[in-house]
Chains A and B, each alone.
Chain A
Amino acid sequence: MSLAASETTLRDALRDAGHLLPGPRPGIDGHGPEFEAVVDGIWRAYFDRAPAGTPVMAFGPLIDAAQFTATDYPRSFPHLVGEVEVFDGGDAEHGALIRDIDAGADWTTHFVPSGMTFVPATCENVYPRYAGTLEGPTIVACRSWCFRHEPSDDPMRMVSFRICEYVYLGSADGAESFRTDWLGLLLEFFTDLGLEVASDRANDPFFGRIGAMLAANQRRSGMKNEISIALYPDRRTAISSVNTHRTHFADSFGIRQAGGEPAHTACAGFGIERVAIALFAAHGMTTADWPEPVRAVLRLP
């Protein structure tokens, strides 16, 4: 039994309840106060699981363009990337810009790359900060706004959204233990929130011709696990993932273990709005009516 009949019935129910404030194009709806209370409750409850002394980092939606390309994200998902451009002209160029806007012409030609891109996953802003030698195995809690250009009528698929996650940097064995431990922790976390979840190997939407090869590699390696729910009748919907990266980010950013060898990394997190929508689909559009244990975990007023 699915939680919603279709993408549009779920989207319309969320909009009718004032949880999503319709935007002029898909994927950039605003959020009402009850929705935001759930969002805050979710990431706070997840961060409550942090081991003592865990550094907590929050970022905006941007990343340095050179650091972004070093993550290799554009190799796999160029279709999701957003690059930020800025105006750097003088008075003459400003005049030309205004004339183009007034004429309804293409005004974006007056802008140039800023050296920044939108960040598609929060942890990409963490790895470069650990360039150098780690003092020891490290776990970081982080959250930020993110951007992925995949506009859709499915309310679960947003262009602008927030991710919260834990990142591990350390040894190969440590990364593997982190993956096992945090996959278990996330399954328990969602179960405590009243969601019926299951985990499986991930199946990411890699781009184009070469994407077939990357997808086959991903399935075979088992380096990414997804946690999903039965939201729609025709398919399961992923709400969370746990990834190991071997030494990929260590090689890109020069992160070394105390002994000098490249660090292994892993991450475990979720899109916060996605989990919030899953909760509204599971428990109804009024949080006052949600099961008390769920309200308690989220510390809803």
Chain B
Amino acid sequence: MMSRTEQTVREALAEVGNLDEDAMSLAADASLADAGLTSHAAVSLLLEIEDRLGIEFPPEQMTPETMASIRAIEAGIEALS
């Protein structure tokens, strides 16, 4: 069962990620860079997730690692709560 956070991340990814693969079926631990997420698209994705969830990532989480995979993004979001 997909968590609500994961669902939101996948929807944001489908909206702004411009991936080569389907964001809804991509493995949660697959590399987003390998799936075609550019550094610029990663910025759009981060802002989109913040908007959808009403959160703000702190400076120490503004790293490529935070956006490495759907699971990594989820973990980053959960660390905020």
> A residues near B, CB below 8 A?
72, 75-76, 209-210, 212-214, 216-218, 220-221, 248
Contact = CB atoms under 8 A, between A and B. Distances in A.
B47 interface: yes
Contacts of B12: none
Given A216-B64, A220-B64, A75 B43 contact: yes
B62 A210 contact: yes
A89 to B, nearest CB: 36
A289 to B, nearest CB: 47
Contacts of A218: 39
Contact of B42 (A212, A213, A220): A213
A210 B43 contact: yes
29 contacts: A72-B40, A75-B40, A75-B43, A76-B40, A209-B59, A209-B62, A210-B43, A210-B47, A210-B62, A212-B59, A212-B62, A212-B63, A213-B42, A213-B43, A213-B46, A213-B63, A213-B64, A213-B66, A213-B67, A214-B40, A214-B43, A216-B62, A216-B63, A217-B39, A218-B39, A220-B64, A221-B39, A248-B38, A248-B40
A72 B40 CA distance: 8
Contacts of A213: 39, 42-43, 46, 62-64, 66-67
A266 B21 CA distance: 26
Interface of B: 38-40, 42-43, 46-47, 59, 62-64, 66-67
Contacts of A76: 40
Given A75-B40, A212-B59, 16 more contacts: A75-B43, A209-B62, A210-B46, A210-B47, A212-B62, A212-B63, A213-B43, A213-B63, A213-B64, A214-B39, A214-B43, A216-B63, A217-B64, A218-B39, A221-B39, A248-B38
B39 to A, nearest CB: 4
Nearest to B63: A216
B62 to A, nearest CB: 4
A72 B47 CA distance: 15
B30 to A, nearest CB: 19
B37 to A, nearest CB: 11
A273 to B, nearest CB: 29
A141 B40 CA distance: 27
Contacts of A221: 39
Contacts of A209: 59, 62
Contacts of B38: 248
Contacts of A216: 62-64
A212 B58 CA distance: 11
B46 to A, nearest CB: 7
A217 B41 CA distance: 12
Which of A213, A218, A221 neighbours the largest number of chain B CB atoms within 10 Å of its CB?
A213
Contacts of B46: 210, 213
A197 B22 CA distance: 47
A124 B49 CA distance: 30
A212 B39 CA distance: 11
